[in-house]
């Protein structure tokens, strides 16, 4: 195929013809002032990500007990007519834990990762609402297996940024009796983010001792601010992960974000800190890789379980019914980078099959590469041990 | 006197702004047989972070004004989620619709831009982008989503169809507009035409219109990249190395700080000829 590239401007006569099309430049002017996208976003602002590796690692630090190991459970009957087969989920997770750890029994497998006297935080993702949330059914199964492993019910916390979003999708005290449900961003029973003194409830939920700094900031309006808790160049970690829990089980959903995915690393990074709005545009991949590299996440996340029973391949991270599908799968692993790499391929394969894109995007795996550089896990597929287990 | 006038003008502006934010249409229980509204929420302000966090970026890229969210229950069985986005202008509403609909070709006389699948209706009219989604499975879902969407349309101002500038002067091109994708930044591209993201990575442009076409019976894609200035167009040309994109078989820089790009499996001379006919129309 020969190619043709004309660099010369059109003639004046041509321009008149274009103008007859409707005055392209003038008519498109409204699109120019609205978004701030007319700026070069290829220049990356500085961050304190390089400070993260300076904190001494522990025996639990990512990638955890089983670097580069991922177990994929496949069960065509895991969901039907929007109803989850809870026993089927139980079997999937149990087999996954056994395959991952090599333990003889399921409780033993859990105890290889979690100690009975620890407070265990289950990090869910309800951001996209009922259509595309970490399923409460799967979380029930995780809790059941934790309890059978000897973890007291009172030591289990379900958490995410927004308590009210968790309630919307079914993570309520009624549905999970005895389990603490905690959010960093909190409203009172009147729907207010502020107490009688005018202070945000969320302020009490953050730990200013741990932060992600980035040389980028955004001014939030009054309505948005309490969802971000603070403005400026600092994003503070939630005290839920720095203080309240001893270890974390990370349960994201299998979904895309444009040509990439939002799985383990994204769920942790954007779910554990404040002031995230400023980070999406210019530092999405960096945030996904660098925030989990700080000790409150790096040294506490003991297990990742990607909820891929239902997921999406386009429209994410928001929920778009048209692109939601039943992947009928769970991914289990201690290495969040390896799990994300496997999940990425599942979503990419679906996107190619559905002709959403013709080829892989160069930026699709960037956050995985960055996370590997931060020594959080293995992103090279040739070095990942993937075991697929069909559930019949 | 001048300060009083300024003050009154300010008050008027505030009142107008308030008036704009409180006239957002919504459904009430009983508006349709068996309809119960279980929840209504309204998100104004400049961002959507409070409602959808990361997903908000796409809407902000186009220009978001406000959002009304309703959860509905119909006949005590089906649950639906309605999201009515008010965008800054009709082009923005069309743009967000264009990158959300995928390959849907659904037609409906209710709205010029309408996409219906089994569990969802998407449509755009005037400054509004409407999304009606089923939250529960079961039969009859598509009929309900379209009934709710139509009901909403009765409440929206009739503003006529938006016509993309690129098509305005060419009646022959009009039929293609329904399939056009209008992006005003990388997130729009990511959602509407992901394969165009990498070649334009880091480039600065105002808008891109991408249209599937047919050239001499062969499938083609036509892109119109518009930059803010001649300087910006030159910078884009240098930055993204337009001429190294393998699939872009024909690229022409035009006046108006724009580029015409054609993807088609045809000899360059034929594409040049076709480009000429495009511009003559």
Q: State whether residue B38 sits within 8 Å of chain A by CB.
A: no
For B218, other C-beta atoms within 10 Å of its C-beta total 11
Cα distance between residue A198 and residue A278, in whole Å: 24
Out of A7-21, A231-245, B5-19, B153-167, the most confident range is A231-245
Cα distance between residue B193 and residue B247, in whole Å: 14
pLDDT at position B267, please?
Answer: 84
Between A289 and B200, the more confident residue is A289
pLDDT at position B156, please?
Answer: 84
> pLDDT of B213-253, one tens digit each?
888 888 888 888 888 888 888 888 877 665 556 566 777 78
Least confident of A64-68, A304-308, B180-184: B180-184
Residues listed for chain B: 281
Residue B55: closest CA among A298, A129, A287, A56: A129
Residue A169: closest CA among A139, A136, A122, A143: A136
Cα distance between residue B192 and residue B190, in whole Å: 6
B9, pLDDT greater than 60: no
* Local confidence band at A6 (pLDDT 50, 70, 90 cut-offs): very low
Handedness of CA A171, A172, A177, A180 (dihedral sign): positive
Are B218 and B265 in contact by the 8 Å Cβ rule? The answer is yes
Contact A37 B186 (CB under 8 A): yes
Contact A277 B47 (CB under 8 A): yes
Going through A62-189 in order, the beta strands assigned E by DSSP cover 69-74, 79-80, 83-84, 120-123, 156-162, 180-185
Are A384 and A278 in contact by the 8 Å Cβ rule? The answer is no
Domain coordinates of chain A in residue numbers? 62-390
pLDDT at position A389, please?
Answer: 98
Are B72 and B36 in contact by the 8 Å Cβ rule? The answer is yes
Find the closest chain A residue to B183 by CA distance.
A31
Q: Where are the alpha helices (DSSP H) in B72-161?
A: 90-100, 141-155
Residues 118-157 of B with CB under 8 A from A: 119-120, 122, 133-138
Which residue out of B56, B126, B127, B194 would a mutagenesis test of the A interface target, given it has the greatest number of A Cβ atoms within 10 Å? Answer: B194
Give the gap in angstroms from C-alpha A24 to the nearest C-alpha of chain B.
5
Domains observed in chain B? 24-155 (3.40.1000), 165-280 (no CATH)
Cα distance between residue A343 and residue A305, in whole Å: 11
Residue numbers in A near B274 (CB within 8 A): none
pLDDT at position B222, please?
Answer: 87
pLDDT at position B110, please?
Answer: 62
Nearest to A41 among B91, B198, B202 (CB): B202
Are B99 and B192 in contact by the 8 Å Cβ rule? The answer is yes
Cα distance between residue B120 and residue A264, in whole Å: 28
pLDDT at position A224, please?
Answer: 86
* Local confidence band at A266 (pLDDT 50, 70, 90 cut-offs): very high
A382, pLDDT greater than 70: yes
* Residues in CB range of B223: below 8 A, 6 or more apart: B196, B208, B209, B210, B211, B248, B259, B260, B261, B262, B263
Q: Where are the alpha helices (DSSP H) in B72-209?
A: 90-100, 141-155, 165-168, 186-192
> pLDDT of B96-148, one tens digit each?
999 998 767 556 556 678 888 878 899 888 899 999 998 876 555 668 898 99
A16, pLDDT greater than 80: no
A254, pLDDT greater than 80: yes
Give the gap in angstroms from C-alpha B193 to the nearest C-alpha of chain A.
7
* Cα A63 to Cα A146, A268, A345, A374, distances in angstroms: 21, 14, 19, 11
> pLDDT of A277-300, one tens digit each?
999 888 999 999 999 999 999 999
Q: State whether residue B190 sits within 8 Å of chain A by CB.
A: yes
Reading phi first (left if > 0) and then psi (alpha if -120 to 50, else beta), residue A262 is in: beta
Give the gap in angstroms from C-alpha B91 to the nearest C-alpha of chain A.
8
Cα distance between residue A115 and residue A98, in whole Å: 17
Are B100 and B124 in contact by the 8 Å Cβ rule? The answer is no
Find the closest chain B residue to A168 by CA distance.
B39
Q: What is the mean pLDDT of chain A?
A: 89
pLDDT at position A251, please?
Answer: 98
> pLDDT of A328-346, one tens digit each?
999 999 999 999 999 999 9
Residue A88: closest CA among A99, A74, A102, A100: A74
Residue numbers in A near B170 (CB within 8 A): 21
A36, pLDDT greater than 90: no
Give the gap in angstroms from C-alpha A355 to the nearest C-alpha of chain B.
9
């Amino acid at each position: 195929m020969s190619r043709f590239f004309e660099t010369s401007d059109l003639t004046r006569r041509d321009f008149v013809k274009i103008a007859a099309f409707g005055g392209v430049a003038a008519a498109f002017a409204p699109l120019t002032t609205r978004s701030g996208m007319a700026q070069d976003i290829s220049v990356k602002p500085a961050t304190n990500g390089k400070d993260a590796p300076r904190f001494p690692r522990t025996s639990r630090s990512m990638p955890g007990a089983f670097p580069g190991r991922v177990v994929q459970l496949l069960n065509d009957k895991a969901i039907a007519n929007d109803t989850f087969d809870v026993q089927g989920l139980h079997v999937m997770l149990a087999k996954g834990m056994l395959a991952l750890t090599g333990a003889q029994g399921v409780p033993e497998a859990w105890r290889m990762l979690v100690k009975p006297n620890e407070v265990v935080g289950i990090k869910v993702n309800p951001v996209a609402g009922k259509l595309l949330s970490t399923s409460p059914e799967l979380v029930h199964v995780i809790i059941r297996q934790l309890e059978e492993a000897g973890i007291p019910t009172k030591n289990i916390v379900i958490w995410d940024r927004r308590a009210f979003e968790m309630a919307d999708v079914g993570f309520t005290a009624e549905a999970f009796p005895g389990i603490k449900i905690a959010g960093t961003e909190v409203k009172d029973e009147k729907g207010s983010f502020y107490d009688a003194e005018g202070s945000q409830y969320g302020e009490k939920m953050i730990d200013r001792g741990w932060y992600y700094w980035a040389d980028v900031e955004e001014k939030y309006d009054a309505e948005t601010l309490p969802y971000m808790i603070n403005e400026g160049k600092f994003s503070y970690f939630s005290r839920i992960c720095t203080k309240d829990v001893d270890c974390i089980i990370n349960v994201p959903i299998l979904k895309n974000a444009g040509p990439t995915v939002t799985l383990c690393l994204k769920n942790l990074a954007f779910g554990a800190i404040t002031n995230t709005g400023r980070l999406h545009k210019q530092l999405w991949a960096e945030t996904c890789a660098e925030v989990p590299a700080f000790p409150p996440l790096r040294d506490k996340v003991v297990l990742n379980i990607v909820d891929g029973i239902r997921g999406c391949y386009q429209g994410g991270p928001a929920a778009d019914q048209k692109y939601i599908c039943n992947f009928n799968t769970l991914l289990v692993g201690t290495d969040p980078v390896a799990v994300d790499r496997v999940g990425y391929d599942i979503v990419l394969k679906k996107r190619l099959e559905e002709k959403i894109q013709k080829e892989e995007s160069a930026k699709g795996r960037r956050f995985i590469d960055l996370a590997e550089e931060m020594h959080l896990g293995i992103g090279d597929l040739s070095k990942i041990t993937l075991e697929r287990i069909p559930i019949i | 006197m001048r300060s009083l006038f300024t003050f009154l003008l300010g008050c008027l502006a505030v009142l107008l702004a308030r008036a704009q934010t409180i006239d957002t249409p919504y459904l009430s229980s009983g508006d349709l047989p068996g309809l119960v509204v279980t929840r209504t929420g309204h998100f104004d302000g400049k961002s959507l972070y409070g409602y959808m966090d990361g997903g908000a970026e796409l809407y902000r890229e186009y220009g978001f004004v406000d959002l009304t969210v309703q959860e509905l229950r119909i006949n005590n069985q089906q649950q639906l989620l309605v999201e009515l986005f008010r965008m800054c202008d009709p082009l923005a509403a069309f743009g967000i619709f264009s990158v959300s609909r995928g390959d849907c070709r659904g037609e409906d006389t209710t709205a010029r831009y309408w996409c219906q699948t089994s569990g969802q209706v998407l449509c755009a009219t005037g400054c509004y982008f409407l999304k009606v989604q089923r939250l529960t499975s079961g039969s009859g879902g598509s009929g309900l989503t379209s009934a709710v969407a139509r009901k909403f349309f009765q409440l929206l101002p009739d503003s006529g169809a938006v016509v993309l500038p690129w098509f305005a002067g060419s009646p022959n091109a009009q039929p293609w507009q329904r399939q056009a994708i209008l992006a005003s930044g990388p997130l729009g591209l990511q959602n509407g035409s992901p394969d165009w993201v990498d070649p334009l990575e880091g480039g600065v442009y105002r808008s891109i219109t991408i249209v599937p076409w047919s050239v001499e019976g062969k499938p083609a894609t036509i892109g119109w990249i518009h930059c803010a200035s001649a300087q910006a167009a030159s910078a884009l040309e240098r930055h993204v190395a337009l001429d190294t994109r393998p699939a872009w078989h024909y690229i022409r820089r035009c006046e108006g700080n724009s580029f015409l790009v054609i993807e088609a499996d045809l000899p360059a001379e034929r594409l040049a000829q076709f480009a000429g006919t495009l511009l003559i129309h």
